[in-house]
Structure 1
Amino acid sequence: MAADLVSTTFSGIVTEGAKALFEPIMRQISYVFKYQSYIAELKVQVKELEYKRERVGIPVREATQQRDEIYKDVADWLNNVDEFISEGVAKSIIDDEDRAKKSCFKGFCPNLISRYKLSKQAAKAAEAAASLVGKGNFSSVSHRPAPESTEHMQAKDFEAFDSRMKLFQDVVEALRNDKLNIIGVHGMGGVGKTTLVKQIAKQVMEDKVFDKVVMAEVTENPDVQKIQDKLASDLDLNFDLNDSKPHRAKQLCQRLTKEKRVLIILDNIWKKLGLEEIGIPFGDVDEKDRKQDLRRRTIILTSRSKHLLTNDMNSQKIFLIEVLSKEEALQFFEKIVGNSAKASAFQPLADEIVGKCGGLPVALSTVANALKNKKLPVWKDALTQLRNSNPREIHGMDANVCSSIELSYNFLESDEAKSLFLLCTLFGEGTPIQVASLLRYGKGLFKNVRTLENARNRVDALIDNLKASCLLLDGDAEDEVKMHDVIHVVAVSIASEKLMFSIPNVTNLKEEIEKIIQKGAIAISIPYGDIQELPERLECPQLKLLLLLANGDSYLEISHLFFEGTEDLKVLSLSGIHFSSLSSSLGHLINLQTLCLDWCQLEDVAAIGQLKKLEILSFRYSDIKQLPLEIGQLAQLQLLDLSNCSSLVVIAPNVISKFSRLEELYMGDSFPQWDKVEGGSNASLAELKGLSKLTTLEIQVQDAQMLPQDLVFVELPRYRICIGEAWGIWRANSETSRLVQLHGLENVSTLLENYGMKMLLKLTEDIRLEELTGVQNVVHELDDGEGFPRLKHLWVERCSEILHIVGSVGRVHRKVFPLLESLSLYKLINLEAICHSQLREDQFFSNLKIIEVESCDKLKHLFSFSIARNLLRLQKVKVASCNKLEMTVGKC
């Protein structure tokens, strides 16, 4: 009333032109006499903001649980609202309203100063709230992210040639046509079919034509189970180990049917392939779903044969990828070798060399990399070799292409690199080649290499050399390599001339082996075939390496005369074979250095103790029950692999301690029966203390009380240690070499104090904690607040008592998780906060890239605002089934 009276009085005595001058004054006066209106307006705006926050927050939470990405303006708006609410200004003003109602001078006049200040604050806060309400109108809050499954499909070597770009665009356009279910791409070997379809897959994913891409290589001898495994891996689908192929096909079909829009790539098909046998649904989807673009399944097939794609695989549209033109081939060649190719002296040589490569990128790449940074005489010699080379008779391949690849082989600078390259041919076409296998089979190839550590470094260096020469490629996994199919064909031809033979699946295996023996073979491999019968006597004096890699279902009797006449054999691998007994002729292999009996069923292995020069012995995944005392005679042993030998229950005491030269010991998911005391009825962990040369250890200890208190692993360069009942070293990150898992432990504090585990955890790069009790704060209780200075990956699952990952401020003395890249939290039912500390924001998670949180029902937000500002490297956030999660970022 008083404010209205003042306003009327002023209105009567001032001119219209002066009103604007007095309006600020009137507003100031109204703060005193209309404070209740300002407070009421603030309450209204705060309530409106809360309603709007709820309306936006619900779809955001749903989108987050569906792994969709929240739009940045939505996330920023939520953060601004949270900051407005968390600062508590509005609540403080409303709560202080009673103070403003009090009177001064014993109640005879109102407290005008308090009313003025409060009203002014309320007006400002109400204006801010109203502005936020107005900005919170979003038509949608999220979008689907580009699926991650295509990261490994990005074609690093794709070249945008003119002849390729038209084809590229045509195939992409065909993939947009939802009436085309099967599309074929054909061309000769080495022309770039795989590179092209990978780049096409990347493009259609970026254009959101598909939600998922899966890809598998088929090869000349298709392995249905391997194809199923690869497709399942791309779909994050896990098969049981004992699932039959038909059951896998059913599961795969069901999963692919549920996918919204999926592109399936089957690369390198040589003959008719049964899609139903693999588990790939094909044909039209439901018309309603197709029109709404809810369901699409399109298949791309690549092959060298046009007729196969059209007649046998019923491709509805096919595309030919041709060789490069002379101009494009020269451009590609010059790009690799550099400016020297343009010099007048080099130019004629470059023109003729490029012509010899037949326009195939794979041939051009290998030759160019061999000549890069080489002088003119080397180029002249290379051209002479290409001119004078004897063209190889390889079906379906240009002779000049064979010569160009062979030239790259000849240009390898060391015999060791050539030997390792040819060793790769013994694993079969299209088979991923594990680096660990190259080390175990190839150690004897290297000169002046005495230790496994030196051999490992040599293998890595040689692989880098072969990759630089484009003779090897990166594998799908970090610890694998592979060989282009065109290069593999030529390499097999070269290897056979060097008396190294790989025998594919043949009807008369016994006769084929006998033919090869007569040629004086130095290496024989039967890669993943059905081995039913072998010759009675091998009688191959020159043989150095023998790999019999059965498919896992072979019951084989090896004659007791079989190894007579093979005394120079250095490497023997008998994989996937069921033995009733080992051949007694095994004792003749007095020079044997590597013996691998992986995936075998074995009874008595005592005869192995006779092989006194043995350096590498592997029983990985074998059904072996006892490691007898005789094995302790292997004084030269450097590597012993007993990993995943789940039936192993007896290791004779004092056997392991006799391996004084042992460098690598693998016993993951194996041998739970450790004896508590040294010299008991079984092996004890105390025997490990005498292995002074040990560099690598994988071990499981089910009962922590079996650990000797003075057993220290911290000095080992590589280890994977599981304390508890379940072996679950869940990842093999190539950049991490120290992993620890604690599973199902009740008294963790005793383990940490008495067995040196705290020091071990401080130096570990990868930690998994599962089903622990007695732990509430990970950082404080497991490493005394040191902050895990070397940890890169942390996985915590089903630890019901954990309240915080990082606890209160008083116990943290330095940066926390400075190197941590991934944080995975699953089923932590009492987790209240990831971080419950008030350290500076730059002291937390400065390197974090990935965070995954699932089924943590008490968690309300992931990080505080201050910590979130420091997550500059964050790439992926996955949140699922966290029922009380209100926001990803909030106030601690």
Structure 2
Amino acid sequence: MGNCVSLDVSCHHQTLNHACGCLFGDGNYIHMMEANLEALEKTIQELEERRDDLLRRVVIEEDKGLQRLAQVQGWFSRVQGVESQVNDLLDARSTQTKRLCLLGYCSNKCITSCDYGKKVLKKLKEVEGLLAKGVFHVVAEKSPVPKVEKKHIQTTVGLDSMVEKAWHSLMIGERRTLGLYGMGGVGKTTLLACINNRFLEVVNEFDVVIWVVVSKDLQNESIQDQILGRLSLDKEWKQETENERVSRIKNILNRKKFLLLLDDLWSEVDLNKIGVPPPTQENGSKLVLTTRSKEVCKDMEVDDMMEVVCLSPDEAWELFQQKVGENPIKSHHDFLPVARKIAEKCCGLPLALCVIGKAMACKETVQEWRHAIHVLNSSSHEFPGMEEKILSILKFSYDSLKDEKVKLCFLYCSLFPEDYEIGKEKLIKYWICEGFIDGYRNDDGADNQGYDIIGLLVHAHLLMDGVLTFTVKMHDVIREMALWIASKFGKQKETLCVRSGAQLRQIPKDISWELVRRISLMSNQIAEISCSCNCSNLSTLLLQNNKLVDISGEFFRFMPALVVLDLSRNSILSRLPEEISNLGSFQYLNLSYTAIKSLPDGLKEMKRLIDLNLEFTRELESIVGTATSLPKLQVLRLFCSRVCVDDIIMKELQLLEHLEILTATIEDAVILKNIQGVDRLASSIRGLCLSNMSAPVVILNTVVLGALQRLTIWNSKISEIKIDWESKERRDVICTSSPGFKQLSAVHIVRLEGPTDLTWLLFAENLRILSVSGPSSIEEIINREKGMSISTVHPDIVVPFEKLELLTARDLDELKSICCDPPALPNLRQFYFEGCPKLPKAATEYLRHAWKDVEGGF
């Protein structure tokens, strides 16, 4: 019993102490309960208001493509948690306050009230602390660079085992570098892409995976550009010197565990001169490269080398059948053994299987297939080097081209650098002037023939589709084959000089001027041409994208056969010598994107000139009197030039009886109206730039401007743009079921004041490129109500931007929508959004999800 009494006294003693602490202690929890509850209620309200204000700021920044700071998100999470706890306390408020007595100094449940009051005070201090910490000067920053960028790969055959072997070599053990080597077209790039994409599924292996296309003629600067473009969100590095870039790359990569994938090496690359730290066990970084030469792997001192071999016979047969299709092979039992022999001739080379398989897809008789065997057997399949094996196999596709003109067009493509996006329109103009295609026609027949030839070459796998539909590319192995054939299989190398993208600073001294027929020195660093040469056979001279400042008149003195001269994108070239008048056969001159100030008088002597390109010549003062002295001129391009069409130029243009293609810059709305009133001029317009125009209304006529392909509106104040399709009597004899601009494929709008929408773009049903930049009052690209009104009148206009491939919107403070909710852009390939704060977050989230597999960003 003594022990029981002792325990009871002790318990009462503790309870008494606790109660006294609640009543008279430092906390004074019961007496201050109501005051603390009022303070808590007020403070949590202030905290919620601050949270809402901060959230609005965050949403605005996120709509710009930025990412909220982790500390801001952490603060939001803590506020959410404490808000729930405060609500629970406030819900119990009524019950707890009813228990108070003695003017609030005591409670009929003293212990319970004391605990409650203690929680209220503690939570009040916590809320006050969160309120004090909820001040953020910066709430978001640019999104981090993605760790891996997905590479698009077509269905592969026979690569799985090689992917596993390469993966094991790279990831297992202490190897830091891996070299993949093999003959051209064997699938090295595809294998590298498979390795790249694997890291989309592997978490925390590398901080960043960097893909760099090196190619044959690329230098350190280009490699640096690709690395910095992958690592940096800003573009400050573009203005830096080579040494500054080296330091920047080194500083970034020294802090990261990286995987560098170098595709298509032709020689040793000094990583130190680029700024790439060597992969080591300490930094955890790794390197994988692809090359045609085992020697390059040795020069790069890779830890492990792996040969990418050709496909096995079964794998090769599977790939060949995919490219040919099953119908020809299965249509007759005689096809199968012949088809297998053709596949065997490809020796398991994927590129050859694809090319020859596609060439055979249209062969429908056994006799055609047997003839193919005969052609393949006529070339030996045993060659001392891998280049010869590739070329002899690939030449079959070239030989399958029946038209000699198509073959010439194909060989001409080899003048461009590796991996170069060749503009289809420019390529066709070259072909026309070289005589591969018969001249210009009123019905666009020459252009159509050119596009048909491009289609044939693409289907034959001799050209590839570019990033956008108006460009094509040539695989580097195919290009080597074309150069080999053009030089008569290496026996007449002097007739062709192709040094494009070779970082040349002067004209090569080893050119055989008397023999050379075509020269391509584009994309180099040549600043001056002072030599004198006798080029009696030269027909094409490509010097675009250099740094030309001066060209000696002596250079042009003896070039009687020259028909194509491209000097475009020499941004500081301001003059041409008068000796250009010696070019008696001259047909094509491209001076676009140069600083040319005036045209030489000698140009007036170019009586055979048919194509003159002066687009983007911002310094050119006048062409008055020049065009009219060129009697055969068929193409005149003045798009985005300083030379604007006025009354004088308009009169001169009407004197050009052979003019078929015109691109023009217009500043005066009256001139725009007048030129649309001259049918022959208006129907020849392919490009139109409305520059610095100020007008309440601008009318664009879809009938007379039916051939319009490009439209730019720059720095203009135009309240309304109207589309006119029925204001002239002649429309009675023209089909108007779909009145839009059938040919309009590119629209660029920069600093346009006035309209709040661009609904008139619905009339550009084949639009592929749309770029809109501010500042501007544009709130929506397509207004729903206006769009429905147009669709009611013209039911053919249903889906806006159905063919759009590239969409750019920049600095549009008022932009709220694109075209519909959600936007349907089935053919989009690239997109860029920047500085569009009012574009709804829901829309941008949809775009991110819908366009996750295309190039672009926010």
> What TM-score bracket applies, with the shorter chain setting the length?
0.5 to 0.7
Alignment of 1:386-405 (within 5 A): 386-390=376-380, 395-397=385-387, 400-405=389-394
Task: Please say if residues 415 and 500 of structure 2, whose CA atoms lie closer than 8 Å, have aligned partners that are also in contact.
Answer: yes
Structure 1's 319 and 657: CA in aligned 2 closer, same or farther, altered over 3 A?
A: same
Alignment of 1:547-626 (within 5 A): 547-549=520-522, 551-559=524-532, 562-563=534-535, 566=536, 569-575=538-544, 576=546, 578=548, 581-584=551-554, 586=556, 589-598=559-568, 601=573, 603-626=575-598
Q: Which runs of 5+ in 1 are unaligned?
A: 1-45, 70-143, 291-296, 503-515, 679-683, 726-734, 881-892
SS of the equivalent of 1:155 reads coil
Shift, 1:226, TM fit: 3.6
Structure 1's 485 and 536: CA in aligned 2 closer, same or farther, altered over 3 A?
A: closer
SS of the equivalent of 2:526 reads strand
Alignment of 1:265-280 (within 5 A): 265-280=261-276
User: Distance in 1 between the 2:390 and 2:199 partners?
Assistant: 32
Q: Deviations over 1:689-732 (max 9, x none)?
A: 5567666555556x55895651338745632525149xxxxxxx
User: Distance in 2 between the 1:596 and 1:395 partners?
Assistant: 36
Q: Deviations over 1:653-691 (max 9, x none)?
A: 232345565444344554x3658662xxxxx46645556
Task: Please say if residues 184 and 390 of structure 2, whose CA atoms lie closer than 8 Å, have aligned partners that are also in contact.
Answer: no
Alignment of 1:309-388 (within 5 A): 309=297, 311-339=298-326, 340-341=328-329, 344-374=333-363, 375-388=365-378
Residue 465 (structure 1) aligned with residue 436 (structure 2): no
Q: Deviations over 1:52-79 (max 9, x none)?
A: 999998987776665689xxxxxxxxxx
- Report the count of equivalent residues: 694
Q: Could you tell me which amino acid in structure 2 is paired with residue 595 of structure 1?
A: L
Shift, 1:360, TM fit: 1.3
What's the counterpart of residue 414 of structure 1?
403
Q: Deviations over 1:138-193 (max 9, x none)?
A: xxxxxx99969946x3122x4232xx212223444666679765332222332211
User: Distance in 2 between the 1:431 and 1:852 partners?
Assistant: 22
User: Distance in 1 between the 2:440 and 2:723 partners?
Assistant: 37
What's the counterpart of residue 441 of structure 1?
430
Counterpart selection for 2:600 from 625, 628, 631: 628
What's the counterpart of residue 192 of structure 1?
187
SS of the equivalent of 1:625 reads coil
What's the counterpart of residue 689 of structure 2?
721
What's the counterpart of residue 494 of structure 1?
485
What's the counterpart of residue 225 of structure 1?
221
Q: Deviations over 1:25-46 (max 9, x none)?
A: xxxxxxxxxxxxxxxxxxxxx9
Q: Deviations over 1:505-549 (max 9, x none)?
A: xxxxxxxxxxx3xxxx3x444434534465899434xx6434444
Shift, 1:626, TM fit: 1.4
Residue 819 (structure 1) aligned with residue 800 (structure 2): yes
Shift, 1:473, TM fit: 2.8
Q: Deviations over 1:577-619 (max 9, x none)?
A: 7575544574654443322234554644333345454321112
Shift, 1:485, TM fit: 3.6
Structure 1's 472 and 207: CA in aligned 2 closer, same or farther, altered over 3 A?
A: farther
What's the counterpart of residue 665 of structure 1?
636
What's the counterpart of residue 675 of structure 2?
711
Q: Deviations over 1:607-639 (max 9, x none)?
A: 334545432111234443311344234344332
User: Distance in 2 between the 1:241 and 1:279 partners?
Assistant: 15
What's the counterpart of residue 799 of structure 1?
775
Structure 1's 787 and 194: CA in aligned 2 closer, same or farther, altered over 3 A?
A: closer
Counterpart selection for 2:816 from 834, 839, 853: 834
Counterpart selection for 2:447 from 453, 456, 465: 456
Shift, 1:302, TM fit: 0.6
Task: Please say if residues 594 and 617 of structure 1, whose CA atoms lie closer than 8 Å, have aligned partners that are also in contact.
Answer: yes
Structure 1's 462 and 804: CA in aligned 2 closer, same or farther, altered over 3 A?
A: closer
Counting aligned pairs with the same residue, the percent is 22
What's the counterpart of residue 22 of structure 2?
none
Task: Please say if residues 665 and 696 of structure 1, whose CA atoms lie closer than 8 Å, have aligned partners that are also in contact.
Answer: yes
User: Distance in 2 between the 1:354 and 1:716 partners?
Assistant: 49
SS of the equivalent of 1:219 reads coil
Q: Deviations over 1:105-151 (max 9, x none)?
A: xxxxxxxxxxxxxxxxxxxxxxxxxxxxxxxxxxxxxxx99969946
Q: Which runs of 5+ in 2 are unaligned?
A: 1-44, 69-142, 694-706, 729-738, 792-796
SS of the equivalent of 1:552 reads coil
Task: Please say if residues 216 and 227 of structure 1, whose CA atoms lie closer than 8 Å, have aligned partners that are also in contact.
Answer: yes
Query: Normalised by the size of structure 2, how large is the TM-score?
Result: 0.66
Q: Could you tell me which amino acid in structure 2 is paired with residue 357 of structure 1?
A: C
User: Distance in 1 between the 2:656 and 2:821 partners?
Assistant: 40
Structure 1's 649 and 256: CA in aligned 2 closer, same or farther, altered over 3 A?
A: farther
Task: Please say if residues 518 and 540 of structure 2, whose CA atoms lie closer than 8 Å, have aligned partners that are also in contact.
Answer: yes
SS of the equivalent of 2:483 reads helix
Alignment of 1:655-694 (within 5 A): 655-659=626-630, 662-668=633-639, 670=641, 672=642, 674=644, 678=648, 684=649, 687-688=652-653
Structure 1's 856 and 499: CA in aligned 2 closer, same or farther, altered over 3 A?
A: closer
What's the counterpart of residue 29 of structure 1?
none
Structure 1's 218 and 879: CA in aligned 2 closer, same or farther, altered over 3 A?
A: closer
SS of the equivalent of 1:553 reads coil
SS of the equivalent of 1:159 reads coil
Counterpart selection for 2:156 from 156, 159, 170: 159
Task: Please say if residues 187 and 305 of structure 1, whose CA atoms lie closer than 8 Å, have aligned partners that are also in contact.
Answer: yes
What's the counterpart of residue 197 of structure 2?
202
Task: Please say if residues 604 and 630 of structure 2, whose CA atoms lie closer than 8 Å, have aligned partners that are also in contact.
Answer: yes
Task: Please say if residues 665 and 691 of structure 2, whose CA atoms lie closer than 8 Å, have aligned partners that are also in contact.
Answer: yes
User: Distance in 1 between the 2:848 and 2:291 partners?
Assistant: 46
Residue 283 (structure 1) aligned with residue 306 (structure 2): no
Shift, 1:415, TM fit: 1.1
Alpha-carbon RMSD across the aligned residues, in angstroms, is: 5.4
Q: Could you tell me which amino acid in structure 2 is paired with residue 615 of structure 1?
A: Q
